[in-house]
């Protein structure tokens, strides 16, 4: 049902666009790959830096010309990464850390704060000491990933659970690999952690029951 509704909405807006607007296409996907592989001023670590929109504007909103430019830039970035193995490893290391290490997944940072530099955000994100929120979110995220990982490694005889587990693994691994080359942000990867919650909860319950049985034997 959701699939049908989604396609109907897409079809409706495409008809509206064709009838009332003249569009030369859109930003080509290769431009997002370029943004995902460039190290803008050694600060962004492949986060959004405006490359896609600025390149699109520079070429008068022409998808074809933007794609040509993006392909040239992509070759440049690949050559840069290939030129030094240590730089390439460092680049992807920083990218992975900046994407996956924020256990709040920017959920607090992207909230409608009046001032992004206020004391509450500074306490959560910038202070040297770990805030209570970050400690709790770190432990929760690590528990989800740990239990989810164990669940993926352990065989399960229930076919329904096994099928869901297969989908979860494909979704998580696919998302992980996708954001290695695509433009990234910490908030983008929350869905990949979120989908692990059901199997992590089941695995946590299994481990808790196992620990109880082991304790009773002592």
The single-letter DSSP state of residue 187 is G
Tell me, yes or no, whether 5 lies in a domain. no
Same structural domain, 106 and 208: yes
Residue 70: half-sphere exposure toward Cβ, Cα within 13 Å: 25
Tell me, yes or no, whether 19 lies in a domain. no
Which residue range forms the structural domain that includes residue 81?
25-100
The CA radius of gyration of the chain, in Å to the nearest whole number, is: 22
Q: Could you tell me which residues come within 8 angstroms of residue 56 by beta carbon, excluding any fewer than 6 positions away?
A: 27, 31, 66
Count the domains in the chain.
2
Question: Per-residue confidence at 21, pLDDT binned at 50, 70, 90?
Answer: low
Hey, is 129 helix, strand or coil?
coil
Tell me, yes or no, whether 14 lies in a domain. no
Q: pTM higher than 0.95 for the full model?
A: no
Residue 43: is its pLDDT beyond 60? no
Mean pLDDT over each residue of the chain, to the nearest integer: 77
The shares of helix, strand and coil residues in the chain, as percent rounded to the nearest 5, are 70, 0, 30
Same structural domain, 107 and 94: no
Tell me, yes or no, whether 20 lies in a domain. no
Q: What is the pLDDT of residues 144-172, one digit of tens each?
A: 888 887 777 776 666 666 777 788 888 88
Tell me, yes or no, whether 86 lies in a domain. yes
Contact between 25 and 62 under an 8 Å Cβ cutoff? The reply is yes
Same structural domain, 57 and 106: no
Tell me, yes or no, whether 193 lies in a domain. yes
Same structural domain, 115 and 165: yes
Question: Per-residue confidence at 71, pLDDT binned at 50, 70, 90?
Answer: very high
Residue 181: is its pLDDT beyond 80? yes
Same structural domain, 34 and 46: yes
Same structural domain, 108 and 212: yes
Q: Which of 100, 117, 134 is the last residue of a domain?
A: 100
């Amino acid at each position: 049902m959701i699939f049908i509704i989604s396609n109907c909405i897409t079809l409706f807006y495409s008809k509206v666009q064709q009838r009332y607007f003249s569009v030369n296409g859109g930003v080509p996907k290769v431009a997002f790959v370029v943004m995902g592989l460039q190290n803008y001023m050694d600060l962004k670590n492949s986060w959004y830096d405006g490359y896609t929109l600025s390149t699109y504007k520079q070429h008068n909103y022409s998808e074809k010309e933007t794609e040509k430019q993006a392909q040239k830039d992509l070759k440049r970035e690949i050559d840069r990464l290939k030129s030094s193995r240590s730089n390439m490893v460092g680049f992807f290391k920083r990218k992975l850390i900046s994407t996956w290490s924020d256990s709040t997944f920017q959920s607090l940072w992207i909230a409608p704060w009046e001032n992004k530099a206020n004391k509450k955000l500074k306490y959560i994100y910038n202070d040297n000491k770990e805030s209570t929120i970050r400690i709790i979110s770190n432990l929760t995220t690590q528990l989800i990933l740990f239990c989810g990982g164990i669940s993926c490694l352990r065989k399960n005889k229930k076919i329904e659970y096994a099928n869901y587990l297969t989908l979860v693994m494909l979704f998580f691994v696919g998302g992980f690999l996708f954001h290695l080359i695509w433009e990234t942000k910490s908030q983008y990867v929350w869905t990949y952690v979120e989908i692990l919650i059901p199997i992590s909860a089941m695995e946590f319950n299994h481990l808790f029951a196992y620990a109880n049985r082991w304790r009773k034997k002592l």
